[in-house]
């Protein structure tokens, strides 16, 4: 028995012409608020309010920063601004810092040689052995007749 598998489940349906339901609501809200400003305020003042409202509603409907809806970005920004933040700071003892600086200056003049443990040495030898076996240098082969 065959089943139909839904495809494009992450794409919203276009309900109002080329607009999804969310886009339509954002645009309709912006147009409605702009109409209210135009109707109840003097024209010059209304234009000062209409331009940001229309810009914001179009941005909500179509602008997708980092391929996510703008409303999510705004929600994250408000949550960041309004919620408590936890800052951790670990203070160091000043005498310990001075001792670390002195130790650094003493060891800076000494050349450091990395230490190889036995297991690291075996791993290195094994990896070199494998690389050598992958690209062997072989002498020309003779055919079965000794030529």
pLDDT on residue 117: 64
Residue 44 lies in a domain: yes
Asked whether residue 66 is domain-assigned, the answer is yes
Segments of the chain assigned E as strands = 14-16, 19-20
In a domain, 126, yes or no: no
More confident residue, 91 or 37: 37
In this predicted structure, the answer to whether residue 33 has a pLDDT above a threshold of 80 is: yes
Expressed as residue numbers, the domain containing 18 is 14-82
40 found inside a domain: yes
Tally the C-alpha atoms within 13 A of residue 140's C-alpha that lie toward its C-beta: 4
Residue 46 lies in a domain: yes
Determine, yes or no, domain membership for 97. Answer: no
Model-wide pTM > 0.85: no
Is residue 8 over pLDDT 90? no
Q: Crossing angle, helix 21-40 and helix 43-62, to 10 degrees?
A: 170
DSSP single-letter state for residue 147? -
pLDDT tens digits along 80-133: 999 988 887 777 777 777 777 777 666 555 556 556 566 777 777 777 766 555
CA distance 103 to 106: 5
Residue 52 maps to a domain: yes
């Amino acid at each position: 028995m065959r089943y139909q598998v839904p495809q494009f489940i992450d794409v919203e349906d276009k309900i109002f012409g080329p607009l999804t339901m969310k886009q339509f609501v954002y645009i309709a809200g912006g147009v409605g608020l702009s109409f209210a400003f135009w109707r109840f305020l003097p024209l010059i003042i209304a234009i000062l309010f209409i331009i940001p409202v229309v810009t914001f509603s179009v941005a909500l409907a179509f602008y997708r920063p980092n391929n996510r809806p703008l409303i999510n970005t705004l929600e994250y920004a408000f949550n960041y601004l309004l919620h408590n933040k936890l800052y951790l700071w670990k203070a160091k003892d000043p005498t310990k810092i001075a001792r670390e600086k002195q130790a650094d200056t003493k060891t800076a003049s000494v050349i450091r040689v990395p230490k190889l443990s036995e297991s690291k040495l075996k791993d290195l030898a094994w990896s070199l052995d494998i690389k050598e076996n992958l690209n062997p240098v072989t002498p020309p082969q003779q055919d079965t007749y000794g030529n």
